[in-house]
């Protein structure tokens, strides 16, 4: 089922003055996270129009409307004002044309006027719609900000995810979500946050639920962050081969809502400081992003050593 947002949730009536439509018209749903600047429609071309988009009239559109005949305005506005179109917003202090206003009143269609510049309205609405209508999913794990990177730690129940998260928080890193992570595809990235009922909470076996913000301070938590890395914790198996040098040609990734996220598998055994290992993994990812690869540097040293021995 498609996500939608009601106009009443999207538009602040202190900023957008409603000039037509009653309270019931504010319950119209917006299904498409795009804005329509109706240049072709004003010229009479409707063949490929998507009426599910909010219509925004700026300076150019209003100048064009001023040049249109009354008959052309009536024909155009009668098509734009329909059951699919969520609303029309007129920016930069312009007023709704009388013909448009009369059609909207008859059809209980919402028109809004604002003093905001057209570009500002477009950017603000687009950003808000991207957030409200973003594809989403739920993932189990712990989500933290480690050295400025959003990192999801996953693993089987009882493997120690929350205990590792607690150790990382004590080291100064920030908790975003524990147990359940709400993930949203916004623009070209994945943003994660905690469900409201679990916000700032961390469950530690044997202790129970603790409020991280109360125990470690407001700076120990974040509302949301971009997901940049997944660390999969697995119980160590002698029969399995794990990455040692890190020169595998194909980078391991996991697809979340169509976006590939860097992923590493870390074996868990007694005696390993998992918090320190995770910190090292994140720092290593940062070094690779800046162009330095420790694994390739190691191989280059070996090759240089072999070459020097051959030459001696």
For residue 219, say whether it is annotated as part of any ligand binding site. no
For residue 130, say whether it is annotated as part of any ligand binding site. no
101 catalytically annotated: no
Residue 173 is predicted with a pLDDT of 96
CATH of domain 136-298: 3.40.50.300
Per-residue pLDDT of the chain (312 residues; tens, 9 = 90+): 568 999 999 999 899 999 999 999 999 999 998 999 999 999 999 998 999 999 999 999 999 999 999 999 999 999 999 999 999 999 999 999 999 999 999 999 999 999 999 999 999 999 899 888 988 999 999 999 999 999 999 998 888 899 999 999 999 999 999 999 999 998 889 999 999 999 999 999 888 999 999 999 999 999 999 999 999 998 877 666 655 545 454 468 899 999 999 999 888 877 678 899 999 889 888 887 776 666 566 556 655 666 666 666
Of the candidates 161, 173, 178, 262, the residue annotated as catalytic is 161
For residue 172, say whether it is annotated as part of any ligand binding site. no
Class of domain 5-132: alpha beta
Of the candidates 17, 140, 171, 214, the residue annotated as catalytic is 140
Domain ranges for the chain: 5-132, 136-298
Of the candidates 179, 185, 199, 263, the residue annotated as catalytic is 179
For residue 160, say whether it is annotated as part of any ligand binding site. yes
140 catalytically annotated: yes
Residue 312 is predicted with a pLDDT of 62
For residue 156, say whether it is annotated as part of any ligand binding site. yes
Residue 217 is predicted with a pLDDT of 94
For residue 261, say whether it is annotated as part of any ligand binding site. no
| 136-298 and 5-132 share a CATH fold | no
Is 13 within 8 Å of 105 (Cβ atoms)? no
For residue 93, say whether it is annotated as part of any ligand binding site. no
What's the predicted TM-score (pTM) here?
0.70
179 catalytically annotated: yes
């Amino acid at each position: 089922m498609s996500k939608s947002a009601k106009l009443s949730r999207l538009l602040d009536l202190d900023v957008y003055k409603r000039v037509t439509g009653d309270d019931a018209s504010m319950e119209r749903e917006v299904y498409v996270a795009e804005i329509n600047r109706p240049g072709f429609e004003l010229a009479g071309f409707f063949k490929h129009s998507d009426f599910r988009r909010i219509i925004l009239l700026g300076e150019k559109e209003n100048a064009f409307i001023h040049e249109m005949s009354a008959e052309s305005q009536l024909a155009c506005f009668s098509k734009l004002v329909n059951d699919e179109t969520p609303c029309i917003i007129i920016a930069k202090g312009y007023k709704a044309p009388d013909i448009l206003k009369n059609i909207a009143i008859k059809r209980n269609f919402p028109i809004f006027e604002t003093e905001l510049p057209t570009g500002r309205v477009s950017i603000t609405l687009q950003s808000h719609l991207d957030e409200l209508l973003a594809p989403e999913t739920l993932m189990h794990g712990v989500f933290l900000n480690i050295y400025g990177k959003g990192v999801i730690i996953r693993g089987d129940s009882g493997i120690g995810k929350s205990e590792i998260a607690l150790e990382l928080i004590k080291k100064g890193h920030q908790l975003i979500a524990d147990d359940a992570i709400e993930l949203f595809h916004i623009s070209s990235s994945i943003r994660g946050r905690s469900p409201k009922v679990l916000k700032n909470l961390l469950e530690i076996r044997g202790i129970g639920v603790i409020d991280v913000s109360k125990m470690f301070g407001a700076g120990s938590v974040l509302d949301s962050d971009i997901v940049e890395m997944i660390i999969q914790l697995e119980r160590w198996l002698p029969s399995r081969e794990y990455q040692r040098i890190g020169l595998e040609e194909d980078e391991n990734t996991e697809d979340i809502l169509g976006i590939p996220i860097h992923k590493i598998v870390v074996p868990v055994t007694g005696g390993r400081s998992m918090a320190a290992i995770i910190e090292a993994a994140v720092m290593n990812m940062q070094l690779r992003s800046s162009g330095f690869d420790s694994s390739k540097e190691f191989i280059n040293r070996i090759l240089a050593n072999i070459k020097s021995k051959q030459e001696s």
